Amino acid sequence: MKRFHFLLSLHVVLIFNPLKAQEIKQRLDSFLAIAANNDYFNGCVMVSEKGKNIYSYAAGYADEEKKTPNSINTCFNLASVSKPFTALAVLQLVQHRKCKLSDPVMKYFPDFPYPAITVRHLLSHTGGLPQLERFMDDVIEANKDKIFTNEELYGYLLAQKGKMKFPAGEKWDYSNMGYLILALLVEKISGQSFEKYMEQKIFRPAGMNSSFIRSAGSPEPDCAIRYIIPSMYDSVYLSIPSLYNTKIYTHKNLGNTRGPGNMFSTLEDLMRFDNALYSGKLLDTTLLRESQTPVTLNNGKQHNYGFGWNIVYNQFGDTLVYHDGHVVGIVAMMLKNKTKDQTIFFYDNHSSEAFFQKINTISHFLNGRGAKPLRLTKSLVKAYARALVEKGPDYAAVVFNTLKSDTANYYLDELEMNNLGYNLVNNAEFEGHMQFACEVLKLNTILFPKSANTYDSYAMALSSAGKKQEAIIMYQKALLLNPNNEQGRIALGKLIAK
């Protein structure tokens, strides 16, 4: 698929000094055009200040086949930007005295095997529940084409029989499972489906006419298509619907969960939500303030997350609240500078790199500050990967050694090299792919000899290639560097027992 950028710079409403506004617009336009032309931005950004749209910019296509450009009216998957909405639904029930933050979850779900976990814990990610994505690994592996519902996933949680990562309130640990249960809680208390509740109590009152929760089992809606480059050794973007889920992870199996994600909206609708939320139309000011206050853990320390919101106090004296969203093929952000009454709305349906840097740069430029330029250097790992697959290990080694000293144009990243190895083990189907995987992950141990993860990954590849003794030695090396690597210890035990 040919890469093509459709650049569209929209209006700036001059609600401050016209000359300053024009200068800010030019800086933002220039920055985003450079990002788009260097494959760092394919989506849309909009900024509101004091409730008005003051800046918009779009790049690339929402649908490359139909040549539909991205815009502020493009419907897109919010991913985890859905969480503030789920938290709001629960807080509305608290406001209307249908439940309390201090209520144990088992008050509403008697079979819930965690008596110490409260509604507050789920909202603030401090419940200590097992990680949804972890305990579902084996289930998904055995049911690669199945799309799981909230109810089914809750059933698998019950099968964990009360196992916790830590006691409730002791730590902060991001939990999609917790927000899935919160969606079930909204349904239980309100007597409505989560989709219907959100439509009636949030979307409609806020004037969000283009927003909805995707129903369980329904097909992908006609919104911005998500695109990825499937592997480190590919160079062309492909649409998520065109990929075979059993070989390339696309989040399909967990893609219909309600609560942690799966809300669809537009940037214009998000601005309407922002205005409705801070005008008191959706929630009283006391509960809104509490939702944007850092949670206090059992030890008295705070973590900068409230109920569905990250909270940041920057070096300029501003209070920022935000939530970002990431799912395969799309990233999204809703960030509010409460001090300036300024909100950035953003999505990118290519999951382009330097996500947070772009958001920070936009924020700095809006307020007349400087910002670091984007790192426009290319990935040495990707150049090496393409050479490896096209012409083999010797040619790839020549390419790697030729480019590695050219730090002005190429960067080297340990995690990228690790991901390349995993791509070759799990996704590649061509002859010799396992040998290539071992070659890549071996190189990573040489490049980053103090990293336990490089040895652990190399051990995994060796084990998959049937090299038992070599894999055992590498797992032992990984555990020497990181004795807390429980998964590595389990894998080593299984190998020795064979």
Q: What pLDDT digit, counting tens, does each position of 222-260 carry?
A: 899 999 998 888 889 999 888 866 666 667 788 789 999
Identity of the residue numbered 378: K
pLDDT score recorded for residue 14: 36
The backbone torsions φ and ψ at residue 48, rounded to the nearest 5 degrees and listed phi first, read: -115, 150
Mean pLDDT of 452-460: 97
Q: CA 154 to CA 180: how far, in whole Å? A: 8
In this predicted model, what pLDDT tens digit does every residue of 134-154 receive, in sequence order? 777 778 778 878 888 999 999
Q: CA 282 to CA 85: how far, in whole Å? A: 11
Structure tokens at 84: 């503030």
Check: pTM over 0.75? Answer yes or no.
yes
pLDDT bracket for residue 5 (50, 70, 90): very low
pLDDT score recorded for residue 42: 97
- Residue 2 reports pLDDT greater than 60: no
Structure tokens at 18: 């016209």
pLDDT bracket for residue 220 (50, 70, 90): low
Give the other-Cβ count within 10 Å of 94's Cβ. 22
Share the mean pLDDT of the chain. 91
pLDDT score recorded for residue 215: 75
pLDDT score recorded for residue 249: 66
Mean pLDDT of 52-58: 96
pLDDT bracket for residue 4 (50, 70, 90): very low
pLDDT bracket for residue 57 (50, 70, 90): very high
In this predicted model, what pLDDT tens digit does every residue of 292-306 receive, in sequence order? 999 999 999 999 999
In this predicted model, what pLDDT tens digit does every residue of 17-51 receive, in sequence order? 555 788 889 999 999 999 999 999 999 999 999 99
pLDDT score recorded for residue 18: 53
For domain 79-366, give its CATH number from 3.40.710.10, 3.40.50.970, 3.40.50.2300, 3.40.50.700.
Answer: 3.40.710.10
Structure tokens at 82: 């859905």
pLDDT score recorded for residue 245: 61
Structure tokens at 135: 């305990």
Lowest mean pLDDT among 23-32, 141-150, 168-177, 442-451: 141-150
Q: In 398-452, where do the E strands start and end?
A: 410-411
Mean pLDDT of 204-212: 97
Mean pLDDT of 452-467: 96
Mean pLDDT of 309-333: 95
The sign one gets for the Cα dihedral 22, 28, 34, 36 is negative
Q: CA 312 to CA 357: how far, in whole Å? A: 15
Q: What is the CATH number assigned to the segment(s) 413-497?
A: 1.25.40.10
- Residue 314 reports pLDDT greater than 70: yes
Q: Which residue has the tokens 């949680």?
A: 157
pLDDT bracket for residue 12 (50, 70, 90): very low
Domain ranges of the chain: 79-366, 413-497
pLDDT score recorded for residue 260: 95
- Residue 262 reports pLDDT greater than 50: yes
Q: Cβ(53)–Cβ(46) under 8 Å?
A: yes
3-state secondary structure of 77: strand
